[in-house]
Each structure stands twice: as structure tokens, then as C-alpha cells.
Structure 1
Amino acid sequence: MKKSKKIFIIFLIFVGILTSLISFLHNLQMDKLRFREEGISIEQVQSNNDLIIDSSYEIVFDNSIDIYDLLLNNYNPLFTTAFSIGTPLLFIIPTLFSNFSRSDKIKVGSCLEIEGVKINGEEINVFIFIQEFLNHNRVFSKEKAAQYIKSRYDKANGNLNHNGIKAVINSLMEKNIIVEGSKLTRNEILLNSNRKQIYDFIIENPGVHRNKLARKVDLSTYLIKWHVSMLIKFNLIREQKLSNFTAYFDSSLRQENDLLLHTISRDKCVRIINFLEINKEGSTKNQISKELNMHFNTISNYLKKMDKFSLLERKKVNNIEYISLNDLNFKLLKQKP
């Protein structure tokens, strides 16, 4: 809202209050003169006032007493004055407040992070108006949103033209803050409890395949597909076909590690890793096979894959090889770039 408009509205409020106050004082003076001429005592006036302010059950529900007539008669200029002041303020103040609020929102910070993605400057301003647009529309439409934002920018004294607004919208779409045809925005996508559960499990278990995900979160395959598709749209996760499985990853993790992450997310490999984490001093293949009741060749196969990415440490004692986890490399594997 422009500063000149704010000043003008404040001036109107001031004039309204001042005019009502003068009217009240004038009516009060006229009432005093009338009381003197008609011989009405102060006690009689007080009696009326007592009746008006009495909030007892009997008076409120007594149909024989017209409260509104009492309030609006000539002996109650204070109520008339308050009513005359309050009525315009009832319409003016909300309008003024909403415009101040909008102005405050536009100026919020220079940088905002939405689920790991930073937006700044005009992106924040446009995003606020997009959220406003979505409150009145079923889904996001780039063209319609641009027209709506242009009209709101004019009212908010913005400095972007139509092409500038569309450029900012394109930037927000490239950052997956908003998606064409969706009612949701990136900051709302994880408000759904099932979707949040799916997302959290994928983040904690990168490379997990769809069937295992469905088992662990106890949701139907249909729901899994729907929520996963929404997470992919907003680039919170990504999908990859590996070893005849559809696997899911945190979109911020390095793609070159996808195959390994998928491998170590498999149930048998998870059991081997958990065993090695407990036995930090190292164990032989035979010990691992016996303790986990898992075939020796299966153990060797998974350990070989982990060796390719330097996730294991091997040492020999009396010609016996002991295997342990390389904790540092294991942590780096799941580290975001």
C-alpha cells in the first residue's frame, strides 16, 4: 500500500473521530440546557442510565422494555457517538490492517529456505502472492498466476512488470517450489502424515525399493505410488531402476552412489552391516555366516560389493582375516554434497 494512501486513510479516521467528538460535546451541552428548561433532575437521568447498564436476566429478556429505544433516545448521546465512530472504523481498520500485513509480508527477510531450497528477493514476494492465488484457485496455473500477481503488485507498489513476474515464476518452478497443475507448494508437501512417513523412511534408507517401502510404512501400493509421485514432482526424492527394482533416493545425494546405496539397503546386507557395527574389532566371514545364519557365498557377495567403495577394513592376525566397517567412508556415503 502506498504511503500517501495510508496517510489519507489515517486522516479520514482522525476527521471522523474529531467530528463525532464535537457532535457529542454539542449534544451534551444541548441536553444540559433542555434538562434545565424541563426541570429534569440529575437523579432521573441517573435512573435511566442505571436501567440501560443493568445486565440482569429479567431486563435483558423482558419484552416490555425496548432496549434499543433506550440506547438510541436523546438522553444517550454517548452511545450515538460511539456508534458513529465505530461503524466507519469497522470497515476502515481491517482494510488498513490487511494492507499493512501484506506490506510486512513482502519485506520478510532477504532469504527464505523451503525444504532445503533457498529463495530470495523478488522470489519471496512472488511466492507470497502465489500462495494467496492458490487460496482462491484449485491448482497452480502459470499464466493465471502471473496475471493475478501483476494486479496485486500494482496495488502493493511493486516494481515488476508482467514479463518480470513470469521470469520469477519460472525460477520458482525450476527450484521445484511450485509445480504446474498442483494445489500444493513445496512448503506444504510434507504436511500430509503418510507422505512425511514415506519421505522420512527414504531419507533414512536411501536406495530402498518400492516393495520394502510398502512393507515398512504399512501402506498400500496405490498410496505409495501417489505420495512418491508427489515427492518426485517437487524434487524431494528421485526414482531409479536398479537390478529389476524401483529404488528411491534423497534427490540431493550423489547419483554415482545409487547402486551401492541400493545394495546396502537390502535386508541381508543391512543385517551384515548391523553385525559389523556391533563387532567393531572385526569378524571372519565364517563368524558372520554362523551368527547371522546366512550362506557363506551370500556373505562374500555382499562384502565384495562393499569393498568396491572402500566401506570395509581388513586385517590379518595369524593368517586369519578379520573384517570391520570403515566408519568414516560409511558416513561419507550418505553425506550430501
Structure 2
Amino acid sequence: MFIFLINDTSNYPVTATYESKDQRKEYSQIFDYICKLCPQRSQKSIYYNQLKSRLRKRFKLNESSVKQVINHFVSLNALIVAFDDSISINILSNSTRKDIYDLIQRYPGVYSNVFKKSLGLGSRQVLWHIAFLLEFNIIKFESFGKIKAYGIITVEPKAILLGFIVLKDSLRTLLIHLMSDPAGFELIELVHIISKPKNSVLYTLKKLKELNVLSISLGETKHYCIRHELLPKIDQTISRYNNIFQK
């Protein structure tokens, strides 16, 4: 993925020629919009895919028209094609976005409610900044049902999912209870413990099994238990996340 830099030293729109006044007006509006939507005004840069998406939505352009518009500005040196992705780190110069990133880095597995409780941010505000972090390939997410849990781009997917389970109150209750007895528990017991529907508990147990955290003993009845060798690591994870629980 490459980016465009807005060239402040170009002679656009003086050097531009158009077929009609309407076309001149349309292109001027588009370029003004490009200048305004750039996330880092000091750098005036934007990723190609992001630019295409925004122009399609804002001006109702098809794929061919979007490419034609972009090529037009590039030909006039108003936009400069750059292949250096290092500029993406400047996305963190926004203080709110940096706070969100720091929370994700410190606690892999954070999700929407955690941002609201820990940072006092509204859902739309969080989603806006999350979209930028995802666009610039700084963070990623893993899905737990309909919920997205976030981690920085280099963290293991398993760490994100385990962090989410530790952060989610009902799931943490289930995890801690499973850790309390090496012999494990029957499904009906676990359903009663966290007061969740059977299908919901089964889904969580399935995720724990996929993370290689859970073992299942088969006898007269099926028992679910945490793998003994992982108990110290899980306990450390819960302790490390303890500060965020208090918020």
C-alpha cells in the first residue's frame, strides 16, 4: 500500500485545464476535500485505498472515475506518489489516538466497553480513531462472537483472545472458576456459575479449547478444566490486567 503527499509548492489549480466550468468546480471541490481529510495536516498524507474509498463515498464516483481524478492530480504534481510507509507512525501524534493505542499495547484484548470505561470516550470517537489505526496497519483485531478485541499488529492472535477473556467480567469469572479445581467442572455447573445461556458458555469453552488452554476429560460425564501447566501464566495475566479491572 502506498501513500500520496499533498504538494503545497505546486501551481495547482493555476496549471489545470478543464473541459467546462462545472468540471473545474467539481475538481476544485474534490481537491479541497482531499486536503481536509488528510489525518496529519502537517504531513498532508493519505493512503491510496483510504483516498479511493473516501472519494467514492463523498462524491458518488465509480472506481474508474476515482482513478481518473487521482491521476489528474498526480499529473499536475498536486499529489506526489510516495512508497515510504514510515510516515504512518505520525498517526500517533494525535493525543486521543495515542491513548487508545497505548491501552491496546498494554492490554491486548481490549474491546469497546474497556475504552469507554478506561478513557471516558464515546463509542463513535473510539471507532473513528480505531479505524485510522487499522487503516495504517498499526493494530489488528480478533473476533469473539460479534465483539472485536484489539491488539497491536505484532502481538499473537492467541494473546488477544486470552486477554479478552481475562478482561470480560463473565468470562474471567468462568476462567477463575475453572482454575480453582484441577478435576474440572461439568457444563451444567459452569452455566449456573456465570448465569449465561448454555450456548454462550459452550462458545467460550470452544474458544478456550482453540487457544489450547482447556482440556476435556471424558468419563461418565464430560469435565472441563484448565491445563495444569498453564495455570501460572494465566494467573500472571489476570494479575497484570488487575489495574484495568478497577476502572
Kindly indicate whether structure 1 or structure 2 has the higher relative contact order, using CA contacts under 8 Å at least 6 residues apart.
2
Normalised to the residue count of structure 1, the TM-score between the two structures is 0.35
Normalised to the residue count of structure 2, the TM-score between the two structures is 0.45
